[in-house]
Structure 1
Amino acid sequence: MRPQRPLRRLCHGLALSLAMSGAHSESLMEIYDLAVGNDPAIQRAEANHAAALEALPQSTANFLPSLNLSASKSESSQTVTKSIFGSTGSSNFSNTNYSLNLNLPLYRHENYVARRLAKSTVSRADAEYEAARQDLLLRVAEAYFSVLGRRDDLEFARAEKMAIKRQLEQTRQRFDVGLVAITDVHESQARYDLTVAEEILARNRLDNSIEVLRTLTGTYNEELDPLNETFSLVHPDPEDIEQWTRTALKQNPSLVAALAAVDEARENVAQQRSGHYPTLDLSASSSYNESGGLFASTTENTSIGLNFNLPIYAGGRTSSQVRQSLHFLEAARQSLEEARRNTQRQVRDAYLGVISGISRVKALKQALLSNQSALRAAEAGYEVGTRTTVDVLLARRNLFSAQRNYAQSRYDYILNTLRLKQAAGMLDVQSLQAINNWLH
């Protein structure tokens, strides 16, 4: 179907205003690239992910030997006035000590648990980072289309104000020659004053949306590529809400992270119980000691042995820590159930949003055409005296309302398709690139 002329004029007007500004409009992918390098939330997620990965080498270190070298040297002054050996006098001398200590854990149950715990921590961190990356994709799209939507609102508000202004001027002229009553002038003036206020509100909302986008990119991005007038309304693939739900329950990153958190809490219980287990370490040491003075000596010692330790009683601390970790485990399980339910809800909301969004876009497009016809009929009736000024004002307001609703419905459809993919754990850069191809 060929686009209607008023809609074409609107799109051409928007494009012209962008061209006249002389500014380069940025695409959705360009905004995303800026957000990747500047969004504090994704930067924080990257840092947290990198920090969590260090759990593995730290757990591995528990199995490796530790080697410590210590040394000391001191200067002493000694005065002997009486000795059973008959030697007396004063002397200044040095004391030198060196020691090398090796410790190798042979059996520490907590180390094996810590290794498993580290793997669970890394799995959770990987899932949380993936969730943060998908969240960034959606936040960028939401902020981008929020700016486009608010810009549309401002353009519609300005267009409505100019149309009402022309209507007001025509009404005044008709009043001057006695064709209409003063009430028609007042009606037009009241409607014009309202459109002035609505333009101010639309400008403020646009500024707020631009500010939200700035929090992602770190810069002000006011000129954005608009959405093509025509783009494909595609049903979800597969068109089966239960299949989408099953996919989401398997690979939604937030749900995967919650599952890993349960594993992490379970291993933490095992780690606390390790406090009841014995430990066995191999220790070896070598030392050198040199003392001066009247009783100078030099000694070297080397030793190797096994250190066995069996915890018997620690004041009930270990048992308390086990009980505490069990409570944390139950909390993690409840968080997992909450995440599972939220995921199911998000899938259903987004899926139904896409399905209803397709019908809504089509219905609002037809409503736009109907309101265009209604305005033409009202204007024609006004010219021949069968319709009043109020009828024309109302028809014009309905038209601009239909334009706003139609434009917003297209943005809502796009965002719901992205939300559905995010809920299913399938949102990626290629998804955003596909949306970017609908811009110009």
Structure 2
Amino acid sequence: MLIRLLPLLLFALPAAAQTLPELAARALDADPAVRASDASLRAAEQRLFQARAAYGPTANFTATASNNHYREAPAYEPRPFKSEQYVVQVNQPLWRGALYPALQAANSQLEQAESALQQARLEAQQRLAEAVLEVFKARDVLAHATALREAYAEQLAAARRSFQVGRAAAPEVREAEARVDSGLAQVLAAEADLDMRRQVLAEVAAGPTPTLLTRAVAPEALPPLQADGVLDWLARAEVDSPQLRQARLALEAAEAEIRKASLAHAPTVDLNASYTRSNDTGTVTSIFPRRGNTTAVGATLTIPLFASGATQSKVVETMALRDKAAGELDLARRTLVIGVRQAFVATLSALSQARALATAERSQALSVRANQRGYEVGIKTNADVLEAQGKLFEARRDLSRARHDAWASYFKLRALAGQLNEADWQALDAQLVEHRPDEIGRARARSAS
């Protein structure tokens, strides 16, 4: 009983975050890749803080207490004494050449982490857009398959009536029965695909979306895209793509690491200050107690002389990593250019297909009506009507696919260029209308009239 009520309970939940902008915000909050990138950003912020803190002073407090027992020849009589010492040391770097490159590298890594977070957010939004549009597409496929199955069932009934009165042959009836079975198989496949798409959407959207599933993209709604704007998209991607920005920042960080490794040869100068307070009841050479304070201020010059080749090896290593980052930057740029061009062409192609298929759908609807009229007067067979209705279903299915593919490719293009934001979700949400499952059936009835 509980299993039967579970779907009703899910749809009875509060319809929160059902507009596309709110749904996108909910999906971003729950996306594991976004959370991981956000954690990496927080870690990078702390690394930058540590690099800045290296310029500041360090202070240490040391306390030492000892209890000694001394025996001196020839009597070896025990002579105990105690000592205590408290030291406060302060060290301020005056010159360490490697600190500034380390700060530059940490700053580049922070910006790189910010770009990685933006990239993760864009990819999460793209996944959500694809999941939403795939559900809409699968729902239309199911509706068209259902309408086609009903049309096949009506034609089967008509073929049987014609066979009974001698106007149709037995093979026509058998063919109509086969079409009904084929239509049923298509409906079952479409139902399974729609169920899987809904599960994917619920996973990506971090919960059920009952209100969203009652809406659909308006048939006339198509994404705005200029046919001659691919160069503009490439220019935007060159500037705003977080993926390309990450590669640039990785190269900057690698160059800073080279400077940091090279400056390991340079001398360093530190300012030192210490305050020592000592107290003892004697020493090995004295039986008199002592108490005193010592203050010292000085500078320490350290000149690296030899490190068994480790410093030079580190320089060579960082140079190799710099070359690797440069190659990855070129690869990222080439991948981005190819991706933007492919997404632009895919969007443009889907738009062209949608406009052409809209005309084809209207023409095919007229063809169905003409075949039905011809069947009524005896100049067309039942197979001709079934074939025309099958082509009408294919045209409507392909039209729905082209429209949704156009939006999916457009969102992908916006994500690659680093342009996808809440305004895009608001624009798509404004194109959503109430989903009416019976519209396809009424359209089929109009085509049959």
* Band the TM-score falls in, shorter-chain normalisation: 0.7 to 0.9
Partner residue in 1 for 2:221: 231
Letter aligned with residue 410 of structure 2: T
CA RMSD of aligned residues (A): 2.7
In structure 2, the residue corresponding to 1:99 is in which secondary structure? strand
Kindly indicate whether residue 232 of structure 2 is the aligned counterpart of residue 243 of structure 1.
yes
1:275 pairs with 240, 264, 278, which one? 264
Partner residue in 1 for 2:388: 395
How far off its partner does 1:297 sit?
A: 4.2
How far off its partner does 1:401 sit?
A: 1.1
TM-score normalised by the chain length of structure 1: 0.86
1:414 pairs with 386, 407, 420, which one? 407
Q: Distance in 1 between matches of 2:83 and 2:142?
A: 86
Q: Distance in 2 between matches of 1:45 and 1:111?
A: 27
In structure 2, relative to structure 1, the CA distance for the partners of 1:396 and 1:90 (3 Å cut) is same
Q: Residue 175 of structure 1 contacts residue 182 of structure 1 at CA under 8 Å; is this kept in 2?
A: yes
How far off its partner does 1:298 sit?
A: 3.6
Q: Residue 28 of structure 1 contacts residue 144 of structure 1 at CA under 8 Å; is this kept in 2?
A: no
In structure 2, the residue corresponding to 1:226 is in which secondary structure? strand
Equivalenced residues, count: 416
* More moved, 425-434 vs 109-118: 425-434
Partner residue in 1 for 2:61: 69
* More moved, 402-411 vs 283-292: 283-292
How far off its partner does 1:132 sit?
A: 2.4
1:290-345 CA-to-partner distances (Å, cap 9, x unmatched) read 34478454454333322222222212222222111111111111111111112222
Equivalences for residues 177-326 of structure 1 within 5 A: 177-224=165-212, 225-231=215-221, 234-236=224-226, 239-292=228-281, 295=287, 296-326=289-319
1:125-152 CA-to-partner distances (Å, cap 9, x unmatched) read 2222222222233222111111111111
- What residue ranges of structure 2 are gaps of 5+ in the alignment? 1-10, 434-449
Equivalences for residues 1-20 of structure 1 within 5 A: none
Letter aligned with residue 50 of structure 2: Q
Letter aligned with residue 27 of structure 1: T
How far off its partner does 1:64 sit?
A: 0.4
Letter aligned with residue 28 of structure 1: L
In structure 2, the residue corresponding to 1:288 is in which secondary structure? strand
Equivalences for residues 36-115 of structure 1 within 5 A: 36-73=28-65, 76=67, 78=69, 80=71, 88=77, 95-115=83-103
In structure 2, relative to structure 1, the CA distance for the partners of 1:158 and 1:292 (3 Å cut) is farther
In structure 2, the residue corresponding to 1:243 is in which secondary structure? helix
In structure 2, the residue corresponding to 1:314 is in which secondary structure? coil
Q: Distance in 2 between matches of 1:291 and 1:338?
A: 69
Partner residue in 2 for 1:431: 424
In structure 2, relative to structure 1, the CA distance for the partners of 1:187 and 1:22 (3 Å cut) is farther
How far off its partner does 1:392 sit?
A: 2.0
Partner residue in 2 for 1:13: none
Same amino acid, percent of matched pairs: 29
Equivalences for residues 342-353 of structure 1 within 5 A: 342-353=335-346
Q: Distance in 2 between matches of 1:96 and 1:177?
A: 121
TM-score normalised by the chain length of structure 2: 0.84
* More moved, 324-333 vs 284-293: 284-293
1:65-109 CA-to-partner distances (Å, cap 9, x unmatched) read 1101122445x47475x567x894576x75433221211111111
Letter aligned with residue 257 of structure 1: Q
Q: Residue 368 of structure 2 contacts residue 392 of structure 2 at CA under 8 Å; is this kept in 1?
A: yes
- What residue ranges of structure 1 are gaps of 5+ in the alignment? 1-20
